[in-house]
Amino acid sequence: MRINKLNTKILLFASIAFLKAGASSAQDAGGNTDIAKQVAALQPGDGHFMVAGLATFGFVNQSTTNTLGGVSTKNKMNSLGDADRFEFSPMFLWRHGDKMLMEFEPSWDGNSAGGIGVNWASISYFAAPNFIVRGGYIVLPFGTYTKRLAAGWINKLPSDPIGVDVAGSDFGVEAEGGLALGSMKCSYDLAVTNGFQLNPDGTTANVGISSFNRGKTVCGRFGWLPLSNSSLEFGVSGLMGSLATPLADSNVYNKPTITMYAGDINFVQNISPFMINLKGQYTFSSVNSQNYNNPDITQPKYTFTNNTSSYFGQIAIRPTQIKNRVLNKLELAFRYTNYVSPKNSTWGQNYKEMDVSLNYWLSWRSVVKLGYENITSDGTTNLTNSTGIDGSSTSINRLVIQFSTEF
């Protein structure tokens, strides 16, 4: 929900007539005649500023049961919104001529701890038909979810599937476009970015704009639409690069690298009287063999196979072709998610989630969702420490009422 809103419709509101009137007033007042003439000569398409964006808000009621060493504890909570289901993200765009577009999307959500984060901030140059060059803080072209499906009014369920945002956003340059292959089509999206850093526990994080990574990360996605009506798409993604480490730890790690790949599928088709929407993605990431900090101080270093995998599959059905004006606005959606993080790491777990949602579409870009989520997570570490998830299990049942819109 935090990262892709690139399908937002651009609405222009600049008024050339107002600018011309302002120019005439400047001339009458004896102002700078040259500047006034330039403003009066502006034509539509030279430059436009606009604001769009999205908002998501709702109610969450949750019951959590934690079990450790055979002892279970249970707690309940309810909240008007929570960290993963509240967001307000205006998007500012400035088009300079026909070739250049500047985008900036700040975001206020529960994960920002009351502050404002940034989803992306970039400059795009439309170099040729079906070829765009972009630079800045970009959403990485990895998988299909973060770039296309994460916006609350596009997402069919109230929350995001865990594990799909492993690439996230980063500072870099990007080239994307598409090609026609007879009745088929294909798309490409390639990026070079600062990449990730390796944390002492084996997790990774974006290194940011002040990169101490001497290497860079290469990332890309290739999409193939085999049918003439573009109702079906297959996508493959890859990412590889070196991992940054603090200078003080340069002799601790063995030239760490990360490799990631993903496969995704998207199918949307009308099968009277329903519209069927199927989506899925598989993601795998691997860090080469390293030694990590051991919570057991008697053995400062240890190693584990640092592989993480996740996948989700979802289906949504909406009776769009029936005449009843209430029923044709209803949609039923279901999603299953599986996430497996490294066994014997301090964050190792087997995570499963099933979500179902009944959606009511107020318009093509505004939706109310009534969702139920069931989550089970089992810890997979055998480390001896008081703060790990050794032998623990968690069960969560969550009811969500959510409103999402694009503006």
Of 124-128, 164-168, 169-173, 403-407, where does mean pLDDT reach its minimum?
164-168
- Whether 238 is covered by a domain: the verdict is yes
Per-residue pLDDT at 70 exceeds 80:
no
> Cα(263)–Cα(189) distance, rounded to whole angstroms?
14
Compare 135 and 19 and report the one with higher pLDDT: 135
Give pTM, 2 decimals.
0.82
Type of residue found at 106: P
Residue 283 CA: distances (Å) to CA of 217, 218, 319, 362: 17, 16, 32, 34
Residue 113: CB atoms within 10 A of its CB come to 8
The total domain count for the chain is 1
So what's the pLDDT on residue 32?
A: 53
**Are 3 and 139 spatial neighbours (Cβ–Cβ below 8 Å)?**
yes
Position of tokens 């800045």?
A: 136
So what's the pLDDT on residue 36?
A: 54
So what's the pLDDT on residue 31?
A: 45
Return the CATH number at 254: 2.40.160.10
Mean pLDDT of the chain: 83
> Cα(142)–Cα(344) distance, rounded to whole angstroms?
27
- Whether 150 is covered by a domain: the verdict is yes
In sequence order, the 6+-apart residues with CB closer than 8 A to the CB of 228 are 183, 184
**Are 317 and 301 spatial neighbours (Cβ–Cβ below 8 Å)?**
no
- Whether 216 is covered by a domain: the verdict is yes
- Whether 10 is covered by a domain: the verdict is no
Percent of the chain whose predicted confidence (pLDDT) is above 90: 54
- Whether 8 is covered by a domain: the verdict is no
**Are 231 and 268 spatial neighbours (Cβ–Cβ below 8 Å)?**
yes
Q: Which domain covers residue 126, as residue numbers? A: 16-406
- Whether 2 is covered by a domain: the verdict is no
**Are 146 and 297 spatial neighbours (Cβ–Cβ below 8 Å)?**
no
> Cα(364)–Cα(337) distance, rounded to whole angstroms?
27
> Cα(174)–Cα(195) distance, rounded to whole angstroms?
14
Compare 200 and 268 and report the one with higher pLDDT: 268
- Whether 11 is covered by a domain: the verdict is no
So what's the pLDDT on residue 201?
A: 85
- Whether 7 is covered by a domain: the verdict is no
> Cα(287)–Cα(240) distance, rounded to whole angstroms?
10
